[in-house]
Structure 1
């Protein structure tokens, strides 16, 4: 081969290599090596990598506006008259006032340097509350005057980036914010595009990191605050409760029916007595011991004054009165050997919606600490302010162990129209709305064992309540015609005499069976019968057997 041709080919090859090398170097040379300092306004909070809409300020500690913090943890609140921050924490409740942090449940004060105060018309609270009591990860970067805050249960992905650069924009032409070192890690904020990650370093500096220069090291999840209280179910089975209405004379325990299948009984023992927060009691230790001997837990009912919502308002709106009520109830609980409490607040002013939530927030951890279960009664949703809208079912459902749904009085005693106490379609529709707000495992379906005898004369309608047995006897005595009503899913008895029409929508074995079927269909926590004296005693054993069926 001609040596000149070989040398010529070699020359061309070397020339091309040199041009490629020079081209690469030129390309590299276009990478921006300018370093810029990116700073935040003083007091910036980076929440999960994003700038919060508020800033903090220092006054011995770091403080922020309460309303912003409450947007993060909605269950905390301020008792303004006492200048006190209240922190509901699952099974604990803390109060912060005048540099003293008090364990409301265990009544143990802890002296701290933290304060709650007003500034320019806003309540200010210590940022450390989120770290110390709600499980947030908090870092204060002094040199940057920045706080980095991560919510609990946030998964963070940490990346290694030895000798890499974080840039202002996702381009090699963008200025450099920070150069990393071998031991540095950054937190991935998002996977920006094919070439870059959006990251934040430990100083709060955010920018873009080339995917060629980084690798994922590990993921970590913040643990968060205490887990919520998990109630024990009675005897390890679904709850089947019965209310025992005690209005006057105490029941003769020797004459109480054998209530097979019932594992919780709720005597109506306690209630608000006056505006000072006194709690009256009809409790008897013999009753509790009788119930325990018969395999039943005792969850007495504590009720508001149904006739006078102003009494309820005076108590619920005052922190000290609420505390007094809770202390009285705990004393009664120990004295009468009870196992839980059933709260029945009705005819409550809409203005007390938040006050009732606070009362439940304060009572529940105290009862849990004593090993007691907390339940509350609720109607179906309706437009009535004092009988339905005052109760924040969703928020209270997060706090209490169980919610008893009073699925009756569709047509009440003074209803202008005759009708069923609880038609099946009405119950099903009401239950669906409740289950959108409260988990099914907390919902207990109220079951009526009473009905109403309706008398209609022209435009006049009146009624009286009858027990199951009394209704059966009336039908027999009056030879009333009984038919099945598809609209209500119940048997209906009707008779006309002396120009008057009498109608009963019957509660019997058939209607009870359908209500139990709803409980199983929706995986509810159980049933609650109103009321034990209305139940047909011959049905107790059948009721027990039906509850046990899958």
Structure 2
């Protein structure tokens, strides 16, 4: 019996031994470090010899750079999005332009050289900007002439590190040679070898693995036990480019600007009458200059005698320049897209304003298409240079800021202009689909608040309406007419309309039904509603008030306006 048991025990023991060996092999296989290396072209999505992946800060971008003839290029949109949005691409002219506070620097697409508005020029020795199909590429070295950032290029495969921020970083030292892997885990593919004493940027810490960026800008994972000395490091910022300061001609008092709506030369004779009841008015803006042609020609009603009279009354004259009263035949976009036309327009405006002895330019270009937004902003930049040189105040009229008019770029206006005027009216206008207030209190307040997110309060002027709309709804059809505050008062009295305070609108509201069934409504602009708007302006301590337009007001509003500008 014993002889039979012994062989059986041996067999069982052998089975356990063999099972243990097999289990050990499985464990070794499961926990062994993979030696498989990642395809780096796939990792960086490299598609050609000129294709370059971009690591922007600590993030790999979907956008691509290009390595052409030994020079790194970025597409124009990416230059604006990530590096410097002050570059302007003149598609119409085939020019790349950069504008500072005092000069316009231009390069022709495909050229190695540049020239500026002050007569200086230079050659960079590489093509500054070139076309790649329909895409404009800009050399990073040229962008660096006007922008503080650093970049480092790497090959095999092509990738580039771009750094624009120098916030504190967490860094660590590699304790001994190891591997950087695509994902956390020993079975993940290897991106590259890390060596003892390498410094890596710590991006995210997990239990056993750490997401890092290697010295040559690979982003992957390394075992936590292979790192030491995790600490905070302050990178040395790039400060090569010192941006030229935009000086401003802001006044040391509140601005009280009245728009003087002039339809022709005869309107200049109405100056004394339209300001006869005004109090504290220190700027008048006559609607004198109109864009009249795509080549930058203008039409002007400017008058030196008008300016002299205004000065004798203690008022500055900021000449209003518009693009919408010469008819629909003039393409504003066409003019703004041409460097020659812009220069001609600006020269014409400055000559006309200085010749009559006026003190400033009130720039009022409206109905700008989204696709013309960058040309509009470039025109504003270039106009600001000319005004600064001529000693003229530059104020710019704007709609109440909303998502659909972001292309007017209030932030840039707040940098290059002296004042940004918000036209706090036309909340409901002739083409509106519903009746409503021309300028409800919330509409005005939100306009001021949203403007102050982009522009310093010392440059913000809010314009109030000296008019309202009377709305008529008949058989489902809506119509309206804009009337002066004086006319509105008469309309309310003549129709014996009972007015009630609408707290939401911050205005007195009234309605009545005509004998033919027409519903007539009015959200009245009066001294009380103007006072509510001024309370908001006081609360936000903005630079001043403007009024559209002189001669439409009731005289009692001037006391509340003077209380803001003089008190």
Q: TM-score, normalised by structure 2?
A: 0.71
Q: Confirm or deny that 1:246 pairs with 2:259.
A: no
Give runs of aligned pairs for residues 116-265 of structure 1, distance below 5 A.
116-140=129-153, 147-151=160-164, 153-155=165-167, 157=169, 161=173, 165=177, 167-169=179-181, 177-179=193-195, 186=199, 188-193=201-206, 200=213, 203-204=216-217, 208=222, 210-213=226-229, 215-223=231-239, 232=248, 234-248=250-264, 249=266, 250-251=268-269, 256-257=275-276, 259-265=278-284
Which of 74, 86, 100 pairs up with 1:64?
A: 74
1:368 Cα deviation from its structure 2 partner: 4.6
Residues 88 and 437 of structure 1, relative CA distance in 2, 3 Å threshold: farther
1:522 Cα deviation from its structure 2 partner: 4.9
1:149 Cα deviation from its structure 2 partner: 1.7
Counterpart CA distance in 1 for 2:145 and 2:539 is: 42
Structure 1: give runs of 5+ residues left out of the alignment: 1-29, 383-387
Task: Determine helix, strand or coil for the equivalent of 1:323.
Answer: helix
Q: Confirm or deny that 1:447 pairs with 2:464.
A: yes
Q: Confirm or deny that 1:48 pairs with 2:57.
A: yes
Q: Confirm or deny that 1:109 pairs with 2:121.
A: yes
Give runs of aligned pairs for residues 459-498 of structure 1, distance below 5 A.
466-469=483-486, 471-472=488-489, 478=494, 480=496, 483-486=499-502, 488-491=505-508
Task: Determine helix, strand or coil for the equivalent of 2:145.
Answer: helix
Q: 1:407 matched to which residue of 2?
A: 424
Counterpart CA distance in 2 for 1:67 and 1:492 is: 49
Task: Determine helix, strand or coil for the equivalent of 2:205.
Answer: coil
Q: 1:16 matched to which residue of 2?
A: none
Counterpart CA distance in 2 for 1:204 and 1:216 is: 18
1:511 Cα deviation from its structure 2 partner: 1.8
Counterpart CA distance in 2 for 1:176 and 1:419 is: 66
Counterpart CA distance in 2 for 1:188 and 1:143 is: 21
Task: Determine helix, strand or coil for the equivalent of 1:168.
Answer: strand
1:269 Cα deviation from its structure 2 partner: 1.9
Residues 118 and 57 of structure 1, relative CA distance in 2, 3 Å threshold: same
Counterpart CA distance in 2 for 1:339 and 1:327 is: 16
Residues 457 and 246 of structure 1, relative CA distance in 2, 3 Å threshold: same
1:146 Cα deviation from its structure 2 partner: 5.0
1:360 Cα deviation from its structure 2 partner: 3.1
Q: 2:300 matched to which residue of 1?
A: 281
Q: TM-score, normalised by structure 1?
A: 0.73
Deviation track 1:178-212 (CA, whole Å, cap 9, x = no partner) reads 4466xx8x462524346776555655466758442
CA contact (8 A) 1:454 1:461 kept: yes
Q: 2:93 matched to which residue of 1?
A: 82
Task: Determine helix, strand or coil for the equivalent of 1:212.
Answer: strand
For these two proteins, the number of residue pairs brought into alignment is 506
1:515 Cα deviation from its structure 2 partner: 1.5
Q: 2:527 matched to which residue of 1?
A: 509
Counterpart CA distance in 2 for 1:178 and 1:474 is: 83
Residues 131 and 286 of structure 1, relative CA distance in 2, 3 Å threshold: same
Task: Determine helix, strand or coil for the equivalent of 2:409.
Answer: helix
